[in-house]
Structure 1
Amino acid sequence: MMRGNMTPEEKAAMPKITKEMVKRAASYIIPYWKQVAFIIFIIIISSVLNVFPTIISGKIIDDGFNGGNFRVLAILIGLSFGLFIFSNLLNLLQTYINAWVSQHIVFDMRNQMYRHLEFMSHRFFTTEKTGDIITRMTGDINGVRDVISNTLPSILSNSVVLITTVIAMYSKNWVLATMGIIFVPLFIIPTKKVGRKRFDITIQTQKKHDEMNQLINETLNVSGSLLVKIFTKEDIEYDKYNKINKEIIKLNLRENLIGRWFRMFIGMVSNMGPTIIYLVGGVMMLVLDKGDLTVGDITVLVGLINRLYGPVNSLLNVQIDISRSMAHFQRIFTYFDKPHEIANKPDAVVLGNMKGAIDFEGVSFYYDKSSPVLKNMTFHVESGKTVAIVGPSGAGKSTVINLIPRLYDVTGGMIKIDGYDIRDISLKSLRSNIGFVTQDSYLFNGTIKENLLYANADATLEMIEDACKKANIHDFIISLPDKYDALVGNRGLKLSGGEKQRISLARVILRDPKILILDEATSALDSISESLIQEAIEPLLRNRTSVVIAHRLSTIMAADEILVVENGQIAEQGTHHDLLAKEGTYKTLYETQFKQAIEDAKDFKYGGVEINEL
């Protein structure tokens, strides 16, 4: 595909190789400049030494065979063999050092990428495709490794070989050297066109790999594979994968075959050079009787011209490789250039003894400017008090709790904790004082103990067991064959929803936060699990500032104040009795969502109060 037929997206993907980009790419090599300098030294010495066996071959013919001197012949063959062995040992050393450098550069780049992505905002991970992130971390960085380990040494080696070969050729015979070199420009003619086409195909192939990674990530994880099985979509997902796989194969074949005429032409040119040297050399020796030209000289020149065309061809192909490598660097730098939306201020405050009072002062927020989510929201949560947030789906409840630990930053107004704007508090200080329990508790694929220690790496076994007892999960854990060393499986697959939720609560208890955020931790559980968790939550809420998204009446009744959120605003706030008396949104929610719960639990007591009395 010619550049004129490229889509705007493909044109945008074509990397513009600038001085700044090259300098930025080279910055990863600078820390290893000593090793790189040694590699350059070895390449130069090895390339120079590799010229001598070809030159010696001429001496073998002229002084050995034609001169009839076996001793000279043996010495020259031995010298040629010795140079060959020494040169190959140097190449082996160069290959090892080069591999060491490239692996360490990739090590640095992977660490930098992982560290950079760790501090990207929550927005980044909700909008960016997981497949794209994985491709940047694997495929693109591995592509950079290939550039450093293969492309750059190839450029240097072939350049030195080219220079030393030309010098050796002209030192033998300038006429024959010129006749051999005259065909070199023919290599250049088709290269630019072929390189452009190959680059276009590389961009398309990379996009297909992104699609494949995304499909694999979505359908072969625990939740995705379960969804596929439940809806019996195995054949459909396989067809999607098969289609992408076929497209990748077609693109790879096109890339491999697109230069077939080019390679055939280059092969013809490569064979023409030696033929011309034999012809012109024959004329000079046999017709013009040039006595200073020998058979050995012609043999050397033929060997050197063959040595010349290889580097020329490789250097022209390297131009293609450089374009491809710049595409890898461009994709990596695109991620590095994405700013950290949520970051510490240089003079960020560290709250050593947080009390936990929360103030929303005229808070507004949007994900998209055209669709505001929160509008001028103001409320206060006293230290140690519990606020329940209720409201219809999509009202903005989850956004409220996501703003408190700065998963997103407000777009208007401010949020204060203990009188400090949370944007002035260090992220570590802020988040280390906040415990977060969501409906979908996430556990890493490790042991129960490892998941608990994620909250407090210094926790002792006694502290872990105490937290689990408070979360009503200790008895279950010790009933397992491996107890606290039992594996939970991918995303906690080996545990039930209630068991995962109680482990999550134990994890929060180990953290001992000043502020507790609960995104209705019991809404998706059975009545027994809910009862166990409610029993664990009640003491956890005491003497802690708590913000709870509530769908259960029992949770709402435990709150000191209820906020009714509707259309991104606080429609009502107050106690249960106050809000029922207003006969507004809360009473509607009560009638539609909570009344049946009351009928089903008339004898249930929560905090010593019979619900049927409320």
Structure 2
Amino acid sequence: MRYGRPQVRSTRSPLTEEEKQNKPKVTKAFLRRILSYLLPYWPRLALVFAAIILSSLLGLLPPLLSGRIIDDGLLGRDFPLLVQLILLSFIVLIIANLINVLENYLTTWVAQHIIYDMKNQMYDHLQQMSHRFFTNNHQGDIITRMTTDINGVQSVVVGTLTRLVSNTIILVTTFAALVQKNWLLALISMIIVPLFILPTNQVGNRRWSLTMAKQEQTDASNQLFNETLSVSGQLLVKLFTRESKEYAKFEKINREITRLSIREILVGRWFRVIFDTFTNMGPMIIYLAGGFLMIKMGSGLTVGDITVVVALLGRLYLPVNVLLTIQVDIIRSLALFSRIFEYFDIPVEIKNSPQAIVPKECAGTIVFEHVSFHYEGKPVLKNINLTIEKGKSVAIVGPSGTGKTTLINLIPRLYDVTGGRVLLDGQDVRDLDLNFLRQNIGMVAQDTYLFNGTIRENLHYANEHAQEEDLIRVCREANIYDFIRTLPDGFDTLVGNRGLKLSGGEKQRLAIARVLLKDPKVLIMDEATSSLDSLSESLIQEAIEPILKGRTSVIIAHRLSTIMAVNDIIVLQEGEIVQQGTHWELLKEDGLYKLLYETQFKIALEDLEHR
């Protein structure tokens, strides 16, 4: 443990008004919950505290030995003793520093394993969240809880907890040593404490306000980066020739950040000047008081005693400063755990029944019985009754916002019904094992998502054991194989972030191939051909019937190619089935389907006839 002048650490910022208002409610249950993460590692934590105590006690020896070095060694002119005392001080210092290394290793080890446990628990918990959770919460907030918040636990264990314990022990042991040496000088040494408490708080407040102002400008800068330096943003800037305007906007923000940074740094430097001034006043006062007691009062104090008191002052002031501001760290540490627990406490909405059924096989018959669904109190689906026989295909059409996507999301239990039930082969899907249910359902979403990897890796996500011939087969079925063959790296071609290197049609055909590789009994396609150009649509049209053959298929369709291939068409309007039948049957009725056909499908039909 170092002695002499204390190290100046950056002042911790005070609590904001928002932090004060949102302080977590500390209860026994809350504290027990925090301790539950520490208890598995209590043997190592016990070693940490033992190391802190031992290090604090050993840290007292060099200052105390310095008194004997001066009185007995130097003034007593005993050179052998002087050498022994210096060697002893050196050995003690090495041992104390080695113990500090051990303490840092142990606290880091414990912190990292707590983070490991919490991240595993959080990831597992998030994986069980319903689709509703991910649509209602910002992705950035979810990632922040998973990374920044949990990583912050290390600062709680390594920082707040150990700093509280170590500084308390250092303060107690140092003050006890001062009193033992000379109680009057010990009291005098405390006079200087109020002189640096006040500027510490004032500078902390000022620095915090500057930091917050700079953070606001930094946020604005990051927002500008995200908007203007992304692929889509840059395209927009160029097309509207806004380069100079955006540069002027950034230059203004950057200039303000520079100005605030300079002020923030200077505030810190002035604080260090003030801190150094006041902490150096302590030894001067001790020299003055000690000299007065020795010279004027005939006290038994020695030069060595005064030197010991001065050396111990450095161990006294820093712990006082730390403990005066430790409340901020404690509140923020508790708030950190509160944010983490907030996510842990979100109930798992979609989960397996305790007696989940795992049938031997899936035939694929789907039945909706009086199904209704409400979202945040708003009715989305109303009394839906529908039977889809195994191996048959159904297209769902209707205006936007009528509940088409919600209806198909009920089949794999991305949501659960709020009324009625959905049956698969006569079993309520809520009673089926989730893995069994979803393994037998393949879904192609409108917003095709590809991982930033190769075509092969994206296909293998559906079936990691698939062979090369399997990949070729499904890609032929989805009419994407001829395109893949033209690529220099074939299946090992990188698709880029979210498949950015592929066109919309190529991504969707690849997504269809990926689902086919899964070979599901039930195939769900949510406007899966909506992004295809005319050529791609033609390719899918050629393949759509063999894709649907032998599978129960439910398709949200805006494309004529899909509608013409299905066995039945369901027309939804305001969450209700208003028409049902084949394409030609529905055209004979003066209903919504005929209107959709006239305004949406007929143009596509005429386009096909003229090819």
- Deviation per CA, 1:324-358: give whole Å up to 9, x if none: 33333333232222233222233222334122211
CA offsets 1:245-272 (integer angstroms, 9 cap, x no match):
8888888889878889987776665445
Residue-by-residue CA offset, 1:545-584 (whole Å, 9 max, x unaligned): 1111112233222222111101111111122233223211
The TM-score with structure 2 as length reference comes to: 0.87
- Alignment partner, residue 515 of structure 2: 508
Letter in 2 for 1:377: I
Task: Tell me what 1:572 maps to.
Answer: 579
- Secondary structure, counterpart of 1:502 in structure 2: helix
Aligned residue among 171, 174, 188 for 1:179: 188
Whole-angstrom distance in 1 between the partners of 2:45 and 2:562: 65
What is the percent sequence identity of the aligned residues? 58
Which of 539, 542, 560 does residue 546 from structure 2 map onto?
539
The equivalent position to 1:483 in structure 2, one of 470, 484, 490, is 490
Do the aligned residues in 2 keep the contact of 1:351 with 1:430 (CA within 8 Å)?
no
Residue 100 of structure 1: which of 94, 99, 109 is its match?
A: 109
Q: Partner amino acid for 1:350? A: V
CA contact (8 A) 1:390 1:562 kept: yes
What are the within-5 Å matches in structure 2 for residues 200-279 of structure 1?
A: 270-279=279-288
Q: Does 1:129 align with 2:148?
A: no
Answer yes or no: is 1:316 the counterpart of 2:360.
no
Alignment partner of 1:91 is 2:100: yes
**Partner amino acid for 2:604?**
A
**Residue 343 of structure 1, aligned match among 351, 356, 371:** 351
Letter in 1 for 2:335: A
- Choose which of 56, 63, 69 in structure 2 pairs with 1:47: 56
SS in 1 for 2:448: coil
Kept in 2: contact 1:561–1:574 (CA 8 A)? yes
- Structure 2 CA distance for partners of 1:460 and 1:317, relative to 1, 3 Å: same
Q: 1:436: which partner in 2?
A: 443
Shift of 1:243: 8.0
**Most deviating of 226-235 and 149-158:** 226-235
CA contact (8 A) 1:364 1:410 kept: yes
Counterpart pick for 1:396 among 403, 410, 413: 403
Distance 1:497 1:198, change over 3 A: same
Which whole-Å deviations, capped at 9, do the CAs of 1:206-264 have from their partners, x for residues lacking one?
Answer: 89888877776676665666566666666777788778888888888898788899877
- Tell me what 1:358 maps to: 366
Deviation at 1:281, TM superposition (A): 2.1
Q: CA deviation at 1:377?
A: 1.9
Q: State the distance in 2 between where 1:127 and 1:226 align.
A: 29
Q: Does the 8 Å CA contact 1:470/1:536 hold for their aligned counterparts? A: yes
Instruction: Report the equivalent of 2:122.
Output: 113
Q: CA deviation at 1:394?
A: 1.9
User: What is the distance in 2 between the residues matched to 1:214 and 1:119?
Assistant: 31
User: What is residue 389 of structure 2 aligned with on the other side?
Assistant: 382
SS in 2 for 1:72: helix
1:548 maps to 555
Task: Work out whether residues 132 and 213 of structure 1, in 8 Å CA contact, stay in contact via their aligned partners in 2.
Answer: no
In structure 1, how many angstroms separate the alpha carbons of the residues matched to 2:498 and 2:19? 38
Give the residue type in structure 2 aligned to 1:277: I
Determine which of 567, 577, 601 is the counterpart of 1:594: 601
Provide Cα deviations, 1:464-509, integer angstroms capped at 9, x if missing partner: 2222222222232233221211111111122222222221111111
How far apart, CA to CA, are the structure 2 residues paired with 1:203 and 1:418? 59
Change (3 A) 1:578 1:205: farther
Q: Contact 2:374–2:418 at 8 Å: present in 1 too?
A: yes
- What residue number does 1:609 align with? none
Is 1:372 the counterpart of 2:365? The answer is no
Corresponding residue of 1:453:
460
SS at 2:391 equivalent? coil
Name the SS for the 2:465 alignment partner. coil
Counterpart position of 1:611: none
Change (3 A) 1:571 1:602: same
Q: Within 2, Cα distance between the matches of 1:340 and 1:198?
A: 43
Deviations 1:190-211 (CA, angstroms, capped at 9, x unpaired)? 8889888988998998898888
* Amino acid in structure 2 at the alignment position of 1:561: D
Give, in whole Å, the separation in 1 of the partners of 2:336 and 2:216.
12
Cα deviation code 1:43-81 (max 9, x no counterpart) = 222221111000000001110111111111111111111
State how far apart, in whole Å, the 1-side matches of 2:137 and 2:67 are. Answer: 63
Aligned equivalent of 1:332, options 325, 335, 340: 340
2-structure distance, mates of 1:78, 1:94: 24
Number of equivalences:
599
Residue 80 of structure 2 is aligned with which of 47, 65, 71?
Answer: 71
Change (3 A) 1:248 1:569: farther
Q: Which residue of 2 aligns with 1:281?
A: 290
Checking the alignment, whether the CA contact within 8 Å between 1:562 and 1:575 is kept in structure 2 is yes
The 3 A distance-change label for structure 1 pair 538 and 228 is farther
- Say whether residues 1:145 and 2:154 are aligned partners: yes
Unpaired runs of at least 5, structure 1: 605-614
Greater CA drift, 485-494 or 507-516: 485-494
**Residue 84 of structure 2 aligns to which amino acid in structure 1?**
I
SS at match of 2:37: coil
How far apart in 2 are the matches of 1:327 and 1:216? 30
The gaps in structure 2 that reach 5 residues or longer are 1-12
Q: Distance in 2 between matches of 1:4 and 1:319?
A: 9
Q: Deviations over 1:296-338 (max 9, x none)?
A: 1111112112211111112223322223333333332322222
Amino acid at match of 2:474: A
Structure 2: distance between partners of 1:224 and 1:116:
35
For the 8 Å contact 1:191–1:316, the answer to whether it is kept is: no
* Matching residue of 1:32: 41
Contact 1:344 1:425 in 2 (8 A): yes
- Which residue pairs with 1:607 in the alignment? none
Q: Over the residues paired in the alignment, what is the CA RMSD in angstroms?
A: 3.5
The aligned counterpart of 1:563 is 570
CA distance in 1, matches of 2:29, 2:221: 32
User: Is contact 1:274–1:306 with CA below 8 Å preserved after alignment?
Assistant: no
Relative to structure 1, the CA distance from residue 334 to residue 257 in structure 2 (aligned partners, 3 Å threshold; closer, same or farther) is farther
Deviation at 1:513, TM superposition (A): 0.7
Q: Which deviations, in whole Å up to 9, do the C-alpha atoms of 1:491-540 show, x marking residues without a partner?
A: 11222222222211111111011111112222221222112222222112
Range with bigger deviation, 227-236 or 416-425: 227-236
Normalised TM-score (structure 1): 0.87
Q: Is the 8 A contact 1:374 1:569 kept in 2?
A: yes
Distance between the aligned counterparts of 1:373 and 1:207, measured in 2?
40
8 Å CA contact 2:152–2:336 kept in 1: the answer is: yes
Contact 2:364–2:522 (CA<8 Å) still a contact in 1?
yes
Give the direction of change, closer, same or farther, for the CA distance of 1:418–1:159 in structure 2 (3 Å limit). same
Q: C-alpha distance in 2, partners of 1:169/1:312?
A: 15
Structure 1 pair 125–30 and aligned structure 2 pair: CA distance change class (3 A): same
Q: Residue 385 of structure 2: SS of its match in structure 1?
A: strand
Say if 2:14 and 2:328, in contact at 8 Å, map to a contact too.
no
Aligned counterpart, 2:174: 165
Q: Deviations over 1:394-419 (max 9, x none)?
A: 22212212222222222222222222
